[in-house]
């Protein structure tokens, strides 16, 4: 099952859901209601946070209430497989694939919205040896200046060194070289920040598509995009707000294959 067959927002409980849309986005602007079915129940990982789909369809899942990474296989009723326990953190957040079957994960120590200062950490998870029963987990770097590393996305499909990291508390997007561990602020804008009372999570989900970074801001209730340089990761134009202030608890998202930006925005606004 490929990534574009999933459309997810927040996963607040212990059940992973699959959604499918029957109609073609290329032939209609009427948005059909998705069909939702339970893929698997993960009893030991409450408050599911993020996921990544492996090349053969297995799904890696993180939880903000657990330091364990699980793998589920849609269509297979076997229990979720424990992939790794991540040391030194209590919560796992964003996860993304950078090289084939090599994933990177944001971790931290938090309970609810209470974050232990200087606990944000980036880990590497190499799934290539997992067929033998053990994935390789390693530390990329700690980022003590970060408020809370949350969303994560590769810079471009041709770059196997660079990742974007959303700092939901500081309201910035960092760029990190996963081979050297060096990082810097790539994007800083009021649309990434916490600006009002409510959920204290600014920039949250992030996804790059070609030379554009799409992002949500939970505190401001917005969905936006910004053009970026694929070499530096810096903005090369202003932020364009697609949905302004009307989203509630907006979190992670994926882009459906064949869906243009406006269709994507209209569908996301329905959620």
**Please, what are the domains in the chain?**
3-270 (2.120.10.30)
Region 105-125 average pLDDT: 93
What are 120-143's pLDDT values in tens digits?
999 999 999 887 667 999 999 999
What is the band of 270 on the pLDDT scale with cuts at 50, 70, 90? very low
Q: CB under 8 Å to 38, separation ≥6 — which residues? A: 15, 16, 17
Give the span between the Cα atoms of 203 and 191, in whole angstroms: 8
Q: In this predicted structure, what is the pLDDT of residue 257?
A: 53
* Sheet arrangement for strand 172-177: 149-154, 162-167, 172-177, 183-188
Percent of the chain clearing pLDDT 70 (strictly above): 78
Percent of the chain clearing pLDDT 90 (strictly above): 63
What are 191-217's pLDDT values in tens digits?
999 999 989 999 999 999 999 999 999
What per-residue string of b and e applies to 146-167 under the rule 16 or more CB within 10 Å gives b?
Answer: bbbbbbbbbbbeeeeebbbbbb
């Amino acid at each position: 099952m490929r990534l574009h067959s999933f459309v997810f927002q927040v996963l607040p409980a212990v059940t992973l859901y699959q959604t499918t849309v029957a109609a073609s986005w290329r032939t209609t602007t009427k948005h059909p209601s998705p069909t939702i079915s339970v893929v698997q129940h993960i009893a030991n990982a409450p408050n599911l946070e993020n996921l990544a789909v492996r090349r053969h369809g297995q799904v890696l899942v993180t939880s903000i209430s657990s330091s364990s990474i699980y793998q589920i296989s849609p269509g297979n009723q076997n229990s979720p497989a424990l992939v790794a326990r991540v040391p030194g953190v209590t919560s796992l957040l964003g996860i993304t694939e950078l090289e084939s079957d090599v994933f990177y994960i944001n971790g931290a120590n938090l309970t609810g919205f209470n974050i232990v200062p200087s606990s944000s950490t980036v880990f590497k998870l190499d799934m290539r040896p997992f067929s033998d029963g053990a994935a390789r987990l390693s530390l990329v770097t700690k980022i003590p200046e970060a408020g809370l590393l949350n969303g994560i996305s590769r810079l471009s499909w041709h770059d196997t060194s660079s990742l974007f990291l959303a700092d939901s508390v500081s309201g910035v997007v960092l760029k990190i070289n996963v081979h050297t561990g060096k990082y810097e602020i790539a994007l800083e804008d009021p649309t990434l920040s916490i600006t009002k009372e409510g959920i204290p999570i600014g920039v949250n989900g992030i996804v790059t598509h070609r030379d554009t970074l799409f992002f949500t801001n939970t505190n401001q209730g917005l969905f936006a995009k910004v053009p970026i340089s694929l070499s530096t990761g810096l903005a090369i134009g202003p932020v364009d707000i697609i949905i302004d202030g009307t989203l509630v608890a907006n979190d992670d998202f994926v882009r459906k294959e064949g869906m243009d930006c406006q269709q994507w925005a209209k569908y996301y606004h329905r959620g």
